[in-house]
């Protein structure tokens, strides 16, 4: 007698694939940035291919298409790229495309010959596991400072379930590789139980994602909101406290968190979070701090007296713990690196050229 769970497995995977397709199509048709559309579409395609190729029944029904097999290789890398694009709001660069491309290459090598499979299989799965772990770290790191409630909810789900599932699949695959008859194999995606778990996660994320999509992908509004007479007196008082904090250059403190600022201003953290997002238009706490830090950096970079001060010294003085985040924030705000921006400023003023 056939296992009823195994019989239901193709239908469960089909529902999950449909949900993934609807989500990807919805994002593609929306007004989000082109890179967000392409990354979400690529993740959707590779996830659907993964669902199909890891099912013996569906894989046989599709005739073991080499194209489907190839499409599922970069799944872990595209998940990592999706996390960076959505939660870190990083622009897609050739360097960021390297991990998915590497997984694609390793996948082809892994299945090109039996002799290479034994060597490349652990490399492929180990690298995918590292990317999943790093994606989880990104989700955890930014959760507290994310000011967008829809994206915070999506972070929590990814943190608690999806990221652990991705990393868990790598662990179970390694264990099952050395103990193929053990119970661990049932939790891999190639089995009905593992496929059902992935399908449930896809459905949950799809529902939440479709509800929160505008806030998840919406553009930053950096300009302050105009005065609104409907703002409650408590919010006006909090805005005045926040203005005083900015005027006193409190944003210079390295490692400042929204929790610490809320405690200093003696207000609930959720109120401060809502105020900075809804009234001042910032998507995360780092964006709020960077608005003041980048303006101060531009003034110092254009100051003749600071012409010989290194970019690193300026970054540390403005509260950045390292040069990398400062460079990324400055480029996002101005379209140029600090060094490029300074060079352009020097070229427009004889006094600045003389100072150098």
Answer yes or no: is pLDDT of 270 > 60. yes
Answer yes or no: is pLDDT of 353 > 50. no
Q: Which residues contact 212 (CB under 8 A, 6 or more apart)?
A: 150, 151, 153, 154
Residue range 138-147, pLDDT digits in tens: 888 777 777 7
**Least confidently predicted of 106-120, 166-180, 215-229, 296-310:** 215-229
Answer yes or no: is pLDDT of 10 > 50. yes
Confidence of residue 352 (pLDDT cuts 50, 70, 90): very low
Q: What mean pLDDT comes out for the span 195-221?
A: 72
Confidence of residue 3 (pLDDT cuts 50, 70, 90): low
Average pLDDT, the chain: 81
Angle in degrees, CA 147, 324, 79, rounded to 5 = 60
What is the reported pLDDT for 221?
46
Q: What mean pLDDT comes out for the span 246-260?
A: 87
What is the reported pLDDT for 173?
81
Q: What mean pLDDT comes out for the span 99-127?
A: 89
Q: What mean pLDDT comes out for the span 3-16?
A: 78
DSSP lists the bridge partners of residue 284 as 146
Q: What mean pLDDT comes out for the span 276-294?
A: 85
H helix intervals, the chain: 4-29, 34-53, 56-61, 66-72, 75-87, 94-110, 114-143, 149-157, 163-178, 192-217, 233-247, 258-265, 269-274, 285-301, 311-317, 323-334, 338-347, 350-355
Helix (H, G, I), strand (E, B) or coil at 335: coil
Confidence of residue 356 (pLDDT cuts 50, 70, 90): very low
Task: Quote the CA–CA distance of 280 and 86 in Å, as a whole number.
Answer: 21
* Rg of the chain, C-alpha, whole Å: 24
What is the reported pLDDT for 106?
92
For each of the domains in the chain, give its residue range(s) and CATH number, in order of start.
Answer: 4-217 (1.20.1070.10), 233-355 (1.10.10.60)
Q: What mean pLDDT comes out for the span 184-199?
A: 81
Q: What mean pLDDT comes out for the span 13-37?
A: 86
Residue range 123-166, pLDDT digits in tens: 998 999 899 889 888 888 777 777 776 777 777 777 678 878 88
Q: What mean pLDDT comes out for the span 207-233?
A: 57
What is the reported pLDDT for 214?
60
Answer yes or no: is pLDDT of 271 > 80. yes
Using a cut of 0.75, tell me whether the model's pTM lies above it: no
Answer yes or no: is pLDDT of 294 > 80. yes
Answer yes or no: is pLDDT of 36 > 90. no
Task: Quote the CA–CA distance of 54 and 190 in Å, as a whole number.
Answer: 5
Q: What mean pLDDT comes out for the span 221-243?
A: 65
Q: What mean pLDDT comes out for the span 67-88?
A: 87
What is the reported pLDDT for 220?
45
Confidence of residue 65 (pLDDT cuts 50, 70, 90): low
Query: Which of the two residues, 230 and 310, has the higher pLDDT score?
Result: 310
Other CB atoms within 10 Å distance of the CB of residue 225:
12
Q: What mean pLDDT comes out for the span 163-190?
A: 80
Query: Which of the two residues, 176 and 298, has the higher pLDDT score?
Result: 298
Residue range 310-339, pLDDT digits in tens: 899 999 998 888 888 898 889 888 888 899
Q: What mean pLDDT comes out for the span 46-65?
A: 82
């Amino acid at each position: 007698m056939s296992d009823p769970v195994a019989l239901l497995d193709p239908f469960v995977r089909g529902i999950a694939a449909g949900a993934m397709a609807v989500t990807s199509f919805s994002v593609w048709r929306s007004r989000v940035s082109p890179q967000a559309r392409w990354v979400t579409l690529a993740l959707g395609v590779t996830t659907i291919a993964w669902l199909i190729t890891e099912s013996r029944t569906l894989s046989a029904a599709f005739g073991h298409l080499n194209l489907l097999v190839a499409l599922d290789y970069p799944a872990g890398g595209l998940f990592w790229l999706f996390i960076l694009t959505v939660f870190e709001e990083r622009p897609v660069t050739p360097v960021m495309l390297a991990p998915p491309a590497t997984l694609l290459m390793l996948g082809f090598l892994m299945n090109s010959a039996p002799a290479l499979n034994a060597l490349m299989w652990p490399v492929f799965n180990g690298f995918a596991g590292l990317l999943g772990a790093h994606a989880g770290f990104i989700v955890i790191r930014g959760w507290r400072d994310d000011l967008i409630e829809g994206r915070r909810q999506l972070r929590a789900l990814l943190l608690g379930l999806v990221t652990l599932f991705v990393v868990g699949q790598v662990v179970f695959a390694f264990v099952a590789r050395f103990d193929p008859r053990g119970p661990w194999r049932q939790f891999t995606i190639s089995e009905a139980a593992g496929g059902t778990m992935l399908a449930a996660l896809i459905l949950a994320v799809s529902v939440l994602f479709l509800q929160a999509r505008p806030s998840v992908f919406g553009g930053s509004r950096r300009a302050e909101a105009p005065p609104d007479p409907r703002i409650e007196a408590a919010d006006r008082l909090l805005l005045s406290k926040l203005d005083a904090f900015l005027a006193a250059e409190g944003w210079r403190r390295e490692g400042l968190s929204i929790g610490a600022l809320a405690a200093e201003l003696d207000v609930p953290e959720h109120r401060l979070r809502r105020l900075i997002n809804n009234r001042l238009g910032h998507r995360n706490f780092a964006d709020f701090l960077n608005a003041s830090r980048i303006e101060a950096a531009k003034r110092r970079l254009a100051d003749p007296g600071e012409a010989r001060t290194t970019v690193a010294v300026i970054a540390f003085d403005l509260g950045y713990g390292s040069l990398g985040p400062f460079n990324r924030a400055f480029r996002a705000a101005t379209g140029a690196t600090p060094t490029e921006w300074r060079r352009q400023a020097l070229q427009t003023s004889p006094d600045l050229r003389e100072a150098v």
